[in-house]
């Protein structure tokens, strides 16, 4: 057994964080590219939103697939494959000349590649490599996702003018391919590969292996806790990367805010998200995650009520600060609840389906946001409805029974 004080799990955290940052940074491109694509091709906003929605659905459907692949092929192969698919989707985008091609590249390929990385990889790695500090590590992964938005959105806003959305797509493909190198060279699938136990593991704390229990989902779907987690995460997806991630920049630009200023505000939101998600991971290790979710969702809903009235840069910056603090802050308490209720070794498949619900909510909101804009002329009603369901999500989170042990009871 390796007796070195340094734990290789922190190297794994760094590699996974970089992979999440780049994959989710590339996935933020549609929010920046919607208006340039509309101007370049003449396609309507709601038609373009269909491709975005397909991508979000594929992100969700990739969750259960990622859990299955993770058990059989390991995190390293999943990361390499996901990055390769993302790169291929961006190369294909350069040659896109029809809506069905946009749906293929922005939707199916990009969603599949991003989904097998972003869905269960972070939670599974956190629970496999760490017996302690799980909330903090999950928060780091959420912050890396935020950093992708923080870095890529303003970068893409600047690139679109000289390179166009097609040229910018090729740059994103190159970035995704560069990220393959650290995953290939340094990533390990399990602490045993480097002769270590999970960080913080003791003789009294069992080391969980990769494989989930047989029939775990058949038992999970009979638990009300699974459905409460899925519904609240559905609301999370609808109110975050579905509506705001897709339509905030077009909303701002349609009210006379320049692309650069709007992108800067989104970057500000990403920086606040970075802070909020790290803090959420720390808080999850110390407080009841159900109460944290209640606060996060209600706070998010109240901030969305402000957005229809935000029509100038200062107000947009204020919204970015408020909303950014809990954009992905829901992830650490949700994943910890999944691990506590269904077992740490079952996080892959169970969280995969919970994440699928998240992305279905995101896809529905991305599409309906475009429909609302096309039908009503603005996004006001869509933002208000999202605020209402955000508050509802907070109230539902309190009904989750953290002490429920459906799998243990079934086994007994």
The torsion defined by the Cα of 405, 329, 360 and 347, in degrees rounded to 10, comes to -30
| Assigned token pair, 329 | 């802050």
pTM: 0.70
Angle between helices 259-284 and 313-324 (to 10 degrees): 20
pLDDT in tens, 284-315: 888 889 999 999 999 999 999 988 888 888 98
pLDDT in tens, 139-175: 788 778 777 766 787 788 888 888 888 999 999 999 9
Q: Give the fold, CATH level 3, of 9-191+211-411.
A: Growth Hormone; Chain: A; (1.20.1250)
The answer to whether the beta carbons of residues 75 and 16 sit under 8 Å apart is yes
The answer to whether the beta carbons of residues 111 and 228 sit under 8 Å apart is no
Query: Which residues, in sequence order, are CB contacts of 124 under 8 Å at separation 6+?
Result: 67, 70, 75, 347, 348, 351
What is the average pLDDT value for the chain, to the nearest integer? 82
- Give residue 124's pLDDT: 76
| Assigned token pair, 331 | 């992830």
- Give residue 396's pLDDT: 93
Q: pLDDT under 50 in the chain at which residues?
A: 1-3, 204-211, 408-412
């Amino acid at each position: 057994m390796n007796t070195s004080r340094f734990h290789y799990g922190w190297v794994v955290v760094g590699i996974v964080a970089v992979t999440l940052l780049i994959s989710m940074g590339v996935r933020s491109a549609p929010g920046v590219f919607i208006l340039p694509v509309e101007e370049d091709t003449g396609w309507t906003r709601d038609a373009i939103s269909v491709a975005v929605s397909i991508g979000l659905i594929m992100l969700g459907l990739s969750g259960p697939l990622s859990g299955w692949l993770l058990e059989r092929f390991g995190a390293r192969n999943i990361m390499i494959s996901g990055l390769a698919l993302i790169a291929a989707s961006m190369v294909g985008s350069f040659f896109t000349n029809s809506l069905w091609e946009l749906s293929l590249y922005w939707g199916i390929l990009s969603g599949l590649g991003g989904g097998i990385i972003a869905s269960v990889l972070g939670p599974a790695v956190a629970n496999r490599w760490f017996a302690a500090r799980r909330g903090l590590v999950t928060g780091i992964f959420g912050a890396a996702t935020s950093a992708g938005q923080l870095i890529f959105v303003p970068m893409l806003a600047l690139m679109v003018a000289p390179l166009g959305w097609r040229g910018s797509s090729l740059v994103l493909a190159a970035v995704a391919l560069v990220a393959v190198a650290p995953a290939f060279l340094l990533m390990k699938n399990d602490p045993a590969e480097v002769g270590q136990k999970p960080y913080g593991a003791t003789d009294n704390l069992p080391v969980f292996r990769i494989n989930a229990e047989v029939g775990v989902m058949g038992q999970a779907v009979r638990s009300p806790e699974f459905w409460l987690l899925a519904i609240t995460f559905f609301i999370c997806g609808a109110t975050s990367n579905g509506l705001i991630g897709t339509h905030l920049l077009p909303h701002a630009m349609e009210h006379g805010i320049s692309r650069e200023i709007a992108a800067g505000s989104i970057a500000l939101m990403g920086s606040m998200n970075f802070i909020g998600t790290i803090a959420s991971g720390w808080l999850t290790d110390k407080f009841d995650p159900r109460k944290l979710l209640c606060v996060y969702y209600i706070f998010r809903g109240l901030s969305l009520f402000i957005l229809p009235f935000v029509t100038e840069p200062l107000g947009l910056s204020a919204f970015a600060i408020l909303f950014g603090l809990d954009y992905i802050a829901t992830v650490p308490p949700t994943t910890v609840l999944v691990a506590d209720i269904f077992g740490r070794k079952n996080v892959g498949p169970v969280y995969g389906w919970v994440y699928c619900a998240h992305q279905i909510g995101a896809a529905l909101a991305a599409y309906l946001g475009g429909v609302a804009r096309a039908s009503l002329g603005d996004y006001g009603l869509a933002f208000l409805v999202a605020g209402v369901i955000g508050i509802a999500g907070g109230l539902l989170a309190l009904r989750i029974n953290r002490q429920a042990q459906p799998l243990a009871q079934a086994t007994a």
